Every structure is written in C-alpha cells, then in structure tokens.
Amino acid sequence: MTDPAPDSSSGPLAGTLVVDLTRALAGPHAAMMLADLGARVVKVETPDGGDDTRGWGPPFVDSPDGPVSTYFLSCNRNKESVTADLKSSSGKALLERLVERADVLLENFRPGVLDRLGFSVELLHALNPRLVILSISGFGHDGPEGGRPGYDQIAQGEGGLMSLTGSGPDDPQRVGVPIGDLLAGMYGAYGVLAALHERTRTGRGQVVRTSLLAAIVGVHAFQGTPVHGGRRDRACAGQPPPVDLPVRALPLRGRGGPAQHRQRGPVAAVLRGVRDRPGRRRAGVERLPGGAP
C-alpha cells in the first residue's frame, strides 16, 4: 500500500472520504482513480492476508509488511488500509463508524453478499443518507446471470470483444490487459463523480451500478451499432476495422522480409491520395522501395 500523495489535499476531491471494500482489480482501480483526484481512500481488507492480489505474482517488491505483488500496487496507489472481519461484531462496528463519516462506499462482492453481511443499501443509507454507493458486479445485479462471479476473460468473450481482436475472423484474441475490469472501474468512478455532483443539489446519496459485461458492451462503438441500428449480425472481424482502412497492422519492408499483405495495394492508394491532396504539406513523406509512399 503506497502512502497518500503529499499534495492530495489540493485535488478536486479533497475532503472526500471513500471506504473501499473492493478487491482484485475493477473496484480497486475505481477507488484509486478517486484517490488520485485527492479523495482520502480507506481500503478495508480481511485480517487473513488482505486483498488476494497482494500475493498475485511474481513479480514482487519488498515492503515494510513483506513482499507485495506489483499487480496489487498497480491499483492501490494513494490509499490507506485497515483490516476488519466483516462477519464479526467488531468488524461490523468498525465499518458502521466508517460509513457514518464517509462520502462514498465501493464494493464488488457478488450480488447479495453485502446484504448477507448485514449491510444492505437500506441500512447503509439509514446510517448515512448522503452516502454514494458504487457496486460493481460481473454480469449485472439482477436477472438470470446476476449471481455469476465475474472474470475478465469471460466478460471479454461473452461481451463480443474477443471477436473484434486478433488477426482475423478465425483468430479471436483476449485483450492483453484485463480491459473489462479496468473499464468497469473507470465507468464506476465516472458514475461516482456524477452522483457526488447530484448530491450537491439533492442532499442525498444514491447507488451507482456497473458490471464487467456492461463495460465491455459500452465500448463497442461503431462495431456495435450495425447490430442495434442496422439489425444485421456481425461475424468475427479481427483487427481490420471495416470503415477505417488503412487503420490496421501492416508488416513493413525490412522487418522480417518484404511486405506481402493483401491490403498493401489499397492502402498505398489511400496514402497516395492523402499525399497528393491539394494544399497538403509534403514534408516528411518519403517513397519507400517498391513504390509504396
């Protein structure tokens, strides 16, 4: 756990207290974004080792509390940490005291777990009507999929992102970072900021919900609108964007041999058209061996 930034009191969220009950990546990433904006974030961890990601390595780095994984450090910057067993009376009492003072509470338990621990939304708002609650799940908070645990690679597959990644229709690939977790954290922090702003008008907090699956679907952009607007199925596309040529990976001459890409001709024609456009600056445009610009 890194120390809060020395100048955090000058950030836009200075004076905001965030209670972070989350673990793994999506929730901690959201909390870290709020911490980076100046909020005081208190991370509540289990007494028996804390957040599981402390041990997700190698690599590890040394700390006063022993080796800690760089995975954990990547999403827990600028936070303070306490331990509490939320199933015990003392742990529940500690959380109640934090909630009474807090502006924001973050949790990413499976839907229903926080209720079973005795901290339903109704109780949390009874303790503090101004509390903003961010809840992140894997596949939504209700419906037939609501109780499923969330794993990034599953969300990427079921959300259709893998079909848009890779070299082509027969090569779906997982994005190299847990993008569903990261996006859910970003959407969650975005929602928290909106709820805090609305609280200045209403005087009351509210619940913000997002999920890994929703976050993936939320970035489909123009790859999703043909389905929802044009009402036609889309096959796996891989890397080549259907409307944005020449935006794609292209092998270059001198890097593993001559380029033998099927789109090389059309791409060269597009680039020549840009180069030869009237009024276009030509500085820095070179002609490569083989005729390509």
Among all residues, which ones are annotated catalytic?
Answer: 181
Q: CA-to-CA distance for 94 and 148, rounded, in angstroms?
A: 29
Distance of CA 245 to the CA centre of its chain: 28
Token reading at 27? 């929730």
Which class for 83: exposed (0-12), middle (13-18), buried (19 or more C-beta within 10 A)?
A: middle
Is the previous residue joined to 59 through a cis bond, with omega within 30 degrees of 0? yes
Q: CA-to-CA distance for 127 and 114, rounded, in angstroms?
A: 15
Q: CA-to-CA distance for 155 and 85, rounded, in angstroms?
A: 30
